Amino acid sequence: MANLMLSTSDAYLLAQHRGFDGSKEQLRMMARETPQVLEKQYGLAYSSTPKFSRNARNWEDMRPGDTPKPAATVKRKPGRPRRTDSTPAPAPAKTREPAPVAVATPAPSPKPGKAGIQDVSELAQVLSWFTREVEQLRQQLQQVKTQKTVPGVSSQAVEQLQSENENLKAENAALRDKVNHVQQVLGIMDEEPAYTPPAAEPEPTRQRKTKAAKTPKPAARRGRPSSKGRAASTANGLDPNVNLALEAIFDYNSQSGLSKEDKWAVSYPVMKDLLKQVGAATQPKIKQVFDARRDEINRHHQSHGLSSRHNRVHGDRSISDYIQLKA
């Protein structure tokens, strides 16, 4: 036997008959949030495919046997009872009509006003609930599809990681710009002196340089430069030890048969490492030499094909393992 379908008003009356002491709105909320408890305690269930109309029967009575029954009708035999002198004649028995069953009686049409507002509110709540359910099902379906293709990896997690990666890249670029700006303001150079392309020269000058490049390079020099060079450096106010280290790098890179990977680009860390052998030199002194001999350093880097990031190929190796200064 199919269960009875009830309107909201009928379902509320039936729930009160079965012990529910809340409001009609609380009954609707229980149907949305804890339908199992509602069915277990009060024998009511809200339809999974509700109809949105006035007095729509969206409630199902899961315990039709517990529905209030009409009062029993008094049955009398035909004929009048005998009268006695001492007993007054009983009043004619009135047949009691059966009380209408709440579950079967359609609720009267609500009057416009508060009832209409309640119907609209109920409809909005039901639509909101269905929207949440559909969204949850869509997410679960997406997770199932992802698990079928890549076990153990959620597409949502991948998208989140990709988004975080893009954000980190943007933050990294912004921080690099800030660091470069601060370095420019403070007058601090990059890790290696930046290469500045030389100005265009006349064609005869280029030909002379090409011929000069074919001449054999001098052997690597180690130790002190000539006394003239040291005297000139001192006269110019440049630190002689910094010039000594710079000349040693030039000579080392100019050795014949030396591969590009074994050469060293001129940089602050490299110069500081070399100068530890003869006494530490401050960065301002190194910067003075770099500024005074910038063109020479740029030409040296260009001739050997060394970029500002070249020293990364050396890893943890130190230039002091290859060049020894003689103070």
| Closest to 197 (Cα-Cα) out of 56, 298, 55, 266 | 298
Element containing residue 157 per DSSP (H, E): helix 155-186
pLDDT at 208: 44
In whole angstroms, give the CA distance from residue 213 to residue 109: 105
pLDDT at 167: 75
pTM for the model: 0.33
CB 247 within 8 A of CB 232: no
Query: What does the domain layout of the chain look like in residue ranges?
Result: 203-321
> In 34-75, where does DSSP find H-type helix?
35-42
Low-confidence ranges of the chain (pLDDT < 70): 1-2, 66-120, 146-154, 172-173, 176-236, 280-281, 327
191-215 per-position pLDDT tens digit:
444 444 444 444 444 444 444 343 3
pLDDT at 182: 61
pLDDT at 280: 66
Query: Phi and psi for 60 in degrees, rounded to 5?
Result: -120, 130
pLDDT at 225: 45
In whole angstroms, give the CA distance from residue 40 to residue 227: 104
Sequence-ordered list of residues with C-beta below 8 angstroms from that of 295, at least 6 positions apart, any chain: 196, 198
